[in-house]
């Protein structure tokens, strides 16, 4: 009887753990503050930081207020090196200074795959000669031009402080489990999980080892194309150039194409036809190296997919759960609702009733095909689709004719919280 009552007490306590996801207005980007409350205990995860404006206008105030109330960021998770995800992390880390004397908010741990975090081969640490400096500075200059667009015309000079890796090292942050030295680990989808609290864990579904190897190989090919005599080295300038290289890759964005083939009819047949349309999936190096993870709180399962390759994520989830369907309690869709980062098979096996799409109004995301997939897979479920902005595709889909066939609701959530 005592054992039964003890188990019952434990079940009740787990059910009382609350999860709150605060969604920052990040324009075209991502930034979320996940707070797990277990009685008086509180765990905070800051996932990406949007762009420079996101930090200055929204995140900074929130973090300062948290710090004044004695709170901290337990995990800063930077999914990958794109300005719409980590552009705001640069001013945060720069202003915050060192981890042991934080000026904005204490940050206990950082999860991020930087240059040496991805170092699958050993590069010799040595300075660049004059010729190499010009090449690496040229790579960084292209990145500075991209970042300048995110700061409303403010000029960014070529400085080492633009490098996330350097800011983490100089601040002696606990980065991927290392402190003040290059981390020994990289974040990959493996069986290991991080226990961040009692009955609270993180398990990674992306990237895979092969995706990181491919990114490294593409970097080396890029250098070879620029100069065949380039030696593979390691120093602060090269670390910054490596991050800049991923920005350059991102300049070649693929168009969302399924919705452009023809205007679907606003009825069940038209939506299903759109969901069945064939597309080319996202195999870009930088998105495939994005960190994505499952946050498990008691029995609640929440997926945060960054910009990850959906095939990689699905493969890992199938290894964990076998052939059974596993409904998630919440999913932050990959790549701002891009049709190239979502599949019918994924939603059939691991769908949810609660989806979050962080995207702006000026691009094609979320695409009509993405929304059609959400509606048509498990149509018996009543779905909430949390959005940060309403683009033309959302406005088109939010028609009474379509609501007649599918039970869904678009909920504006920027600057507000989702409770799971």
Compute the distance between CA of residue 397 and CA of residue 382 in angstroms, rounded to an integer. Answer: 16
Q: What is the pLDDT of residue 18?
A: 95
Q: Record the pTM.
A: 0.87
What would the pLDDT profile of 321-366 be if each residue is shown by its tens digit? 998 899 999 999 999 999 999 999 999 999 999 999 999 876 678 9
The residues facing 357 across adjacent strands are 387
Q: pLDDT-based confidence at 153, cuts 50/70/90?
A: very low
Contact 292, 305 (CB under 8 A): yes
- Lowest average pLDDT, out of 123-127, 255-259, 286-290, 402-406, goes to 255-259
Contacting residues for 374 by C-beta, under 8 A, at least 6 apart:
347, 355, 383, 385, 408
Strands 233-234 and 200-206: unpaired
Burial 56-77 (b: 16+ CB within 10 A, else e): eebbbebbeebbeeeeebbbbb
Is the pLDDT higher at 411 or at 155?
A: 411
CA dist list (Å): 282 to 253, 291, 307, 311, 396: 10, 15, 9, 9, 25
The C-alpha atoms of residue 139 and residue 162 are separated, in whole angstroms, by 13
Residue 169: pLDDT band with limits 50, 70, 90: confident
CA gap 416, 116 in Å, rounded? 36
Band of pLDDT at residue 79, cut at 50, 70 and 90: very high
Confidence of residue 262 (pLDDT cuts 50, 70, 90): low
Sign of CA dihedral 254, 219, 246, 209: positive
- In the predicted model, what is the mean pLDDT of residues 275-298? 89
- Cα distance between residue 289 and residue 123, in whole Å: 20
> How far, in Å, CA of 322 to CA of 318, rounded?
5
- Alpha-carbon distance 292 to 306, whole Å? 5
């Amino acid at each position: 009887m005592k054992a039964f009552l003890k188990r019952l007490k434990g079940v009740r306590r787990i059910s009382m753990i609350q999860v709150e996801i605060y969604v920052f207005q990040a324009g075209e980007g991502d930034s979320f503050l996940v707070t797990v409350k277990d009685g008086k205990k509180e765990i905070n995860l800051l996932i990406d930081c949007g762009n420079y404006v996101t930090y200055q206008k929204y995140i900074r105030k929130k973090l300062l207020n948290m710090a004044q109330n004695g709170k901290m960021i337990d995990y800063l998770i930077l999914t990958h090196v794109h300005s719409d995800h980590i552009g705001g992390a640069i001013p945060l880390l720069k202003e915050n200074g060192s981890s042991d004397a934080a000026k904005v908010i204490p940050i206990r741990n950082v999860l991020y795959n930087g240059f040496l975090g991805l170092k699958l081969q050993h590069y010799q640490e040595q300075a660049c000669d004059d010729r190499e400096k010009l090449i690496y500075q040229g790579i960084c200059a292209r990145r500075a031009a991209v970042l300048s667009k995110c700061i409303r015309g403010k000029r960014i000079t070529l400085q080492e402080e633009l490098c996330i890796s350097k800011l983490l090292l100089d601040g002696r942050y606990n980065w991927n489990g290392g402190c003040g030295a290059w981390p020994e680990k990289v974040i990959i989808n493996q069986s290991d999980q991080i226990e961040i609290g009692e009955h609270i864990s993180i398990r990674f579904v992306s990237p895979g080892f092969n995706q990181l190897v491919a990114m490294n190989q593409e970097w080396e090919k890029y250098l070879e194309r620029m100069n065949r005599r380039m030696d593979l080295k390691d120093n602060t300038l090269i670390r910054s150039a490596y991050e800049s290289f991923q920005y350059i890759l991102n300049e070649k964005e693929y168009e969302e194409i399924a919705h452009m083939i023809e205007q679907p009819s606003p009825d069940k047949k038209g939506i299903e036809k759109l969901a069945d349309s064939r597309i080319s999936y996202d195999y870009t190096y930088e998105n495939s190296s994005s960190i994505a993870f499952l946050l498990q709180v008691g029995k609640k399962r929440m997926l945060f997919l960054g910009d990850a390759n959906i095939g990689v994520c699905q493969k890992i989830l199938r290894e964990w759960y076998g052939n059974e369907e596993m409904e998630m309690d919440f999913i932050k869709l990959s790549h701002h609702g891009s049709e190239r980062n979502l599949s019918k098979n994924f939603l059939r096996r691991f769908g949810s009733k609660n989806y979050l799409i962080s995207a702006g109004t000026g691009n094609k995301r979320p695409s009509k095909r993405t929304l059609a997939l959400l509606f048509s897979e498990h149509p018996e479920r009543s779905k909430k689709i949390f959005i940060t902005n309403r683009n033309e595709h959302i406005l088109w889909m939010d028609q009474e004719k379509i609501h007649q066939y599918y039970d869904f609701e678009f909920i504006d959530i920027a600057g507000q919280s989702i409770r799971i």
